[in-house]
Amino acid sequence: MTNIITLPIGDDFHTHLRQFKKVDELCMDARNLAPLGLQGGFQRFLAMPNLKPPITSTAQALEYQKVLEESAPGGTFLMSMYLCNDLSVEELETAHKAGVKWVKLYPSGVTTNSDGGVDDIEEYYPHFERMQELGMFLNIHAELPKSWAPESLNVFSMTAEAFFIPVLQDIISDFPDLKIVIEHVSSRVMVDFIATRDRNVGGTITAHHLLTILDDSLIDRSLTCKPTPKSPDDRQALLDVIDSGNKKFWLGSDSAPHPTSKKLSYACPCGVFSSLNLLPILVHIFEQNNMLLGENGELLNTLPNFISKYGREFYKLPELEGTVTLVRKPQKIPESIFGATPFLHGKTIDWSIK
Binding residues (CB under 8 A) for its own copies: these are: 154-159, 213-215, 217-222, 224, 228, 231-233, 264-268, 341, 345
| Residue with Cβ nearer its own copies (139 or 222) | 222
| Residue with Cβ nearer its own copies (4 or 218) | 218
Q: What is the side-by-side order of every strand in the sheet holding 76-78? A: 10-15, 42-47, 76-78
- The backbone torsions φ and ψ at residue 266, rounded to the nearest 5 degrees and listed phi first, read -65, -45
For the CB of residue 16, give the shortest distance to its own copies in the complex, in Å.
Answer: 19
| Residue with Cβ nearer its own copies (43 or 228) | 228
For the CB of residue 233, give the shortest distance to its own copies in the complex, in Å.
Answer: 4
| Residue with Cβ nearer its own copies (131 or 238) | 238
Amino acid at residue number 238: L
| Residue with Cβ nearer its own copies (110 or 181) | 110
| Residue with Cβ nearer its own copies (1 or 219) | 219
For the CB of residue 8, give the shortest distance to its own copies in the complex, in Å.
Answer: 34
For the CB of residue 157, give the shortest distance to its own copies in the complex, in Å.
Answer: 5
Cα torsion angle, 261, 267, 268, 269, sign: negative
Amino acid at residue number 24: D
* Residues paired with residue 5 on neighbouring β-strands, in sequence order: 326
For the CB of residue 155, give the shortest distance to its own copies in the complex, in Å.
Answer: 7
Which residues are CB-neighbours of 110 under 8 A, at least 6 positions away? 117, 141, 143, 145, 160, 226
- Side-chain-side CA neighbours of 124 within 13 Å: the count stands at 25
For the CB of residue 270, give the shortest distance to its own copies in the complex, in Å.
Answer: 8
Cα–Cα distance list, 353 to 106, 109, 313, 320, 331 (Å): 34, 38, 26, 18, 10
Q: How far apart (Å, rounded) are the C-alpha atoms in residues 14 and 45?
A: 7
For the CB of residue 224, give the shortest distance to its own copies in the complex, in Å.
Answer: 6
Q: How far is CA 134 from the centre of its chain?
A: 23
| Residue with Cβ nearer its own copies (180 or 237) | 237
DSSP 38: H
